[in-house]
Amino acid sequence: MGGLDLAALAPFLEPAAVLTGIACVALTVRQHIVNWPVGIVSSGLFLALFAGAGLYADSVLQVIYVVLGFYGCWYWLRGGPREDSVPVTRASRRLVVALVVVTVAATAGFGLFLDTATGSTLPYPDAATTVLSLVAQLLLTRKLIETWPVWIFGVNVPYIAIYLVKGLAMTAAVQLVFIGLSIAGWAAWRRSMATRAAATTTASAARMAPEVV
């Protein structure tokens, strides 16, 4: 029995991966927990698609996405002050600086590896988007609002060029959809933070107000 021909399955894999990917992001905008299982399915489909296209770094990334998908689902359910109540917050300055340093170093090292040890056709762009995708996903698992600008400017925009070069026109085009959804997610999560801050201020004011006898 012959091996699985991923190239032959690509016409079917790409639409399925794209549709589940869009559904995952749309659910994430609404902070819906179902985004994680949908995202796991999407990552599995993209894994098969990218392996067939020779995008090795992206293939490895999908495996990591699956692992982070299970972690994100657990954290969103159990990681907050109460069950199913993880709030949207901002990353600390220390975390931002650490992620910038790690991103630069990891991109250089991974790009060199892909260039010298694999048949990757776009080693450094592939490495950069892989590292930034991982950073964005890590931020997402913790509901840190910085996830959205990283997805937009560090992942989706450069992916348009990469996927066009690789002949994955549908996956390239869907990055525009992801950008639109990410902008909506950025705005929605900012509103969520503002609403929570206002509620906290109101509650604090109510506690400090003198009792009326």
Asked if residue 197 is part of any domain, the answer here is no
Residue 40 lies in a domain: yes
What is the per-residue pLDDT across 49-65, written as a single tens digit (0 to 9) for each? 888 777 776 788 899 99
Q: Is 162 among the domain residues?
A: yes
Residue 80: count of CB within 10 angstroms of its CB: 13
Question: Band of the pLDDT at 12, cuts 50, 70, 90?
Answer: confident
In a domain, residue 39? The reply is yes
- 151, pLDDT greater than 70: yes
Domain interval for residue 115:
10-82+91-190
Question: Backbone phi, then psi, for 74, in 5-degree steps?
Answer: -65, -45
Q: What is residue 109's predicted lDDT score, i.e. its pLDDT?
A: 95
* Residue 118, pLDDT above cutoff 90: no
Q: What is the pTM of this model?
A: 0.83
pLDDT per position as a tens digit, 157-193: 999 998 898 888 887 888 999 999 999 999 999 999 9
Report if residue 18 sits inside a domain.
yes
At residue 205 the predicted structure's pLDDT band, cuts being 50, 70 and 90, is low
- How many domains are there within the chain? 1
Lowest mean pLDDT among 2-16, 20-34, 98-112, 156-170: 2-16
State how far the Cα of 103 lies from the Cα of 94, in Å rounded to an integer: 14
Helix-strand-coil percent breakdown of the chain, rounded to 5? Answer: 80, 0, 20
Q: What is the DSSP string of 161-192?
A: HHHHHTT-HHHHHHHHHHHHHHHHHHHHHHHH
pLDDT band, residue 213 (cuts 50/70/90):
very low
Distances (CA, A) of 113 to 62, 122, 126: 18, 12, 11
199 within domain boundaries: no
201 found inside a domain: no
- Tell me what pLDDT residue 96 has: 97
- pLDDT reported for residue 1: 44
Residue 204 or residue 115, greater confidence: 115
139 or 80, which is more confident? 139
DSSP 140-154: HHTTBTTHHHIIIII
How would residue 211 be classed by pLDDT, with cut points 50, 70 and 90? low
For residue range 90-109, what is the model confidence (pLDDT) as tens digits?
999 999 999 999 999 999 99
Q: Is residue 124 part of a domain?
A: yes
Among residues 191, 143, 174, the alpha carbon closest in space to that of 32 is found at 143
Return d(Cα 133, Cα 175) in angstroms, integer.
13
